[in-house]
């Protein structure tokens, strides 16, 4: 095996997804703790003086106790180079999560043991299933009262249409939680409250038929229950099948408590053993092998002002093939330009370190002078390559935004454009109206709060916001349509995005139907096909 093949083979790039408050960011931090990437896990919630999650780097995230934007973290563990993509759980930021999942090779789905599958979990799973990437399930918060593990597994199988294979089995829950039984190792991992924040848990090798030893460990009642449960799981459950796991048809399930550090290390060890190295990608219908020595990558995220000391824009790139080398010239497909990617960086949330090389599977950040857009392809010069673009979600909420201080026109324009280019918001304006008033479209209303916060703190601009009654937007895709000549309802508005595409804003579905019926040849699309 060559050096290049070895480096790519040891990469593991995965996203962590969940509904809000299932414990996703806490699990992320504990994985970093085991990898030696951090020395002390932060508290995701709490007082202003408390420690905060490493992955939640934005000040508003620390105030609200939620993840607002995706974070990238890389660390080494047991010979693997691990890239974690921590995603927002809140549905208002689902577009950022969707783009981030496009850069992952597998996903870890965190589920609250008391609540089971929640709406956002369901939505994110569909994206993973669409790409057929491996999905690993971590059922969290077993140290609290929880639903029956059989009910949780049945819900997973019914809701998602995949098989499940419990890698371990919980012994009680809440105050009676004694630990888990590792089915493959035939060990009991004992739970103790004092393990909170520590990195080792005690394991006792035991035979399920050894009543005396088990009674001493967990008590007779839980021993009988465990023996019956394992007999039922072994007899009626799915068989372990690594091929099915790696194509997304079977999800390995782990039970534990991320807050108490219980079950995190066994999960990480098993996960690395079962998950896949970087997957092939498709360009113009052709499959691109990650072991192809020629470098190629695509931009899946852009973020401005991550670090107050830098005040720059970072383009996040997923390397799809080959090896990246600092100072080498690469080809930017969309602009047709050859350029060097200055200051390539390895990321640990908002912390950065300049690197000289990176490999397929890695996520790197490069300085963006305003050239890149989400979905862009970067590759070796001379390669006829272009990865599929990442479509925009149609916004569902709209507001008119204007600056309060008329002297801050430049700051307002710069801020609103940069945040739009990141994909956090979409901006529109009435033709010929300029930037005096901008129409902002978002997937979730919390994004308005983020916009106001970021314009104020990063660009020094206070804004006035006026909510608009529109509920849907459509891109005009028919080339011969003249928007100003359209026969539409009085509450339908013609707007343009910052790239000059023509769109229509509607207050209801019947207005969309009216426009299509009254205008021969008019064609409308829910997604921007030009992304």
Give the DSSP H or E segment for 345: strand 345-348
Phi, psi for 344 (deg, rounded to 5): -65, 135
Domains of the chain: 3-170+239-274 (3.40.50.300), 283-379 (2.40.30.10), 397-525 (3.30.70.3280)
- DSSP letter for 282, please: E
User: What is the distance between the alpha carbons of residues 320 and 379, in angstroms, rounded to a whole number?
Assistant: 10
- pTM, to two decimals: 0.77
Structure tokens belonging to residue 318 = 């997923």
pLDDT, position 65: 43
Give the DSSP H or E segment for 454: helix 446-459
Task: List, in sequence order, every beta strand (DSSP E) within 52-94.
Answer: 71-77, 80-86
Round to the nearest angstrom and report the end-to-end CA distance of the chain: 38
The CB density around residue 483, as the number of other CB atoms within 10 Å, is 15
The CB density around residue 468, as the number of other CB atoms within 10 Å, is 16
Kindly give the confidence (pLDDT) of every residue in the chain, 531 residues in length, as a single tens digit, with 9 standing for 90 and above.
688 999 999 999 998 888 777 788 888 888 888 776 554 444 333 333 334 444 443 454 444 444 434 567 888 899 999 998 876 644 544 566 677 788 899 999 999 999 988 776 776 777 777 778 899 999 999 989 999 999 999 999 998 889 999 999 999 888 888 889 999 888 888 877 544 544 455 667 778 888 888 888 888 999 899 999 999 999 988 999 999 999 999 999 999 998 888 888 889 999 999 999 999 998 887 899 999 999 999 998 887 766 555 567 788 899 999 999 998 999 999 889 999 887 788 866 556 788 899 999 999 989 888 788 888 999 998 887 888 767 666 788 899 999 999 899 999 998 888 888 777 788 898 887 766 789 998 877 878 888 898 889 888 999 999 999 999 899 999 988 999 999 999 999 999 988 889 999 999 999 999 999 999 999 998 876 544
Cα distances (angstroms) measured from residue 84 to each of 71, 103, 104, 253, 268: 8, 11, 9, 19, 12
Rg of the chain (C-alpha set): 25
Give the DSSP H or E segment for 233: helix 220-236
Burial degree of 353 (CB within 10 A; 0-12, 13-18, 19+): exposed
Residue for token pair 């048809």: 249
User: What is the distance between the alpha carbons of residues 423 and 302, in angstroms, rounded to a whole number?
Assistant: 8
The CB-based long-range contact list for 156-160 (8 Å cut-off, 24+ gap) reads: 156/111, 156/117, 156/251, 156/253, 159/117, 159/122, 159/125, 160/117, 160/125, 160/129, 160/251
**In whole angstroms, what separates CA 445 from the centre of its chain?**
19
Structure tokens belonging to residue 336 = 């047709």
Crossing angle of helices 94-101 and 119-131, in 10° steps, is 30
Structure tokens belonging to residue 76 = 């080494």
Strands 135-140 and 106-112, sheet pairing: parallel
pLDDT, position 389: 67
């Amino acid at each position: 095996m060559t050096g290049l093949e070895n480096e790519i083979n040891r990469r593991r790039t995965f996203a962590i997804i969940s509904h809000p408050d299932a414990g996703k960011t806490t699990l992320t931090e504990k994985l970093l703790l085991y990898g030696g990437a951090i020395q002390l896990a932060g508290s995701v919630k709490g007082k202003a003086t408390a420690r905060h999650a490493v992955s939640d780097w934005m000040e508003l995230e620390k105030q609200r106790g939620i993840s607002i934007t995706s974070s990238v973290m890389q660390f080494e563990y047991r010979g693997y180079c691990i890239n974690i993509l921590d995603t927002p759980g809140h549905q208002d930021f689902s577009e950022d999560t969707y783009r981030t999942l496009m850069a992952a090779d597998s996903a870890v789905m965190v589920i609250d043991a008391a609540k089971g599958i929640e709406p956002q979990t369901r939505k994110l799973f569909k994206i993973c299933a669409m790409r057929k990437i491996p999905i690993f399930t971590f059922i969290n918060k077993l140290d609290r009262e929880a639903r029956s593990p059989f009910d949780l597994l049945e819900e997973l199988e019914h809701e998602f249409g995949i098989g499940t294979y419990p890698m371990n089995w919980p012994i009680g829950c809440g105050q009676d939680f004694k630990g888990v039984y590792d089915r493959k190792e035939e060990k009991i991992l004992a739970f103790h409250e004092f393990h909170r924040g520590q990195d080792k848990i005690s394991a006792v090798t035991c035979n399920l038929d050894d009543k005396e030893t088990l009674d001493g460990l967990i008590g007779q009642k839980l021993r009988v229950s465990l023996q019956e449960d394992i007999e039922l799981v072994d007899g009626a459950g799915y068989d372990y099948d690594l091929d099915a796991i790696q194509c997304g048809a079977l999800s390995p399930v782990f039970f534990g408590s991320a807050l108490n550090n219980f079950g995190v290390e066994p999960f990480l060890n098993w996960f690395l053993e079962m998950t896949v190295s970087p997957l092939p990608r498709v360009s113009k219908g052709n499959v691109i092998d990650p072991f192809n020595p020629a470098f190629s990558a695509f931009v899946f995220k852009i973020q401005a002002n991550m670090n107050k000391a830098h005040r720059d824009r970072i383009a996040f790139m997923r390397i799809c093939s080959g090896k990246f080398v600092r100072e080498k010239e690469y080809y930017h497909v969309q602009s047709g330009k050859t350029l060097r990617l200055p200051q390539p960086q390895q990321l640990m949330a908002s912390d950065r370190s300049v690197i000289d090389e990176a490999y397929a599977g890695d996520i790197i950040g490069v300085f963006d002078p305003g050239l890149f857009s989400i979905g862009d392809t970067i590759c070796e010069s001379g390669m006829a390559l272009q990865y599929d673009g990442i479509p925009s979600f149609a916004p569902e909420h709209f507001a008119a935004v204007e600056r309060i201080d008329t002297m801050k026109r430049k700051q307002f324009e710069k801020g609103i454009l940069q945040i739009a280019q990141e994909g956090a918001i979409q901006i529109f304006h009435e033709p010929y109206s300029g930037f005096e008033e901008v129409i902002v479209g978002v997937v979730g209303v919390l994004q308005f709060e983020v916009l106001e916060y970021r314009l104020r703190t990063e660009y020094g601009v206070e804004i006035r916001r006026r909510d608009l009654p529109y509920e849907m937007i459509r891109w005009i895709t028919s080339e011969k349509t003249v928007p100003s000549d359209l026969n539409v309802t009085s509450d339908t508005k013609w707007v343009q995005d910052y790239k000059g595409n023509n769109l229509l804003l509607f207050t209801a579905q019947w207005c969309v139907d009216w426009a299509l019926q009254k205008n021969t040849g008019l064609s409308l699309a829910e997604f921007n096909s030009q992304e």
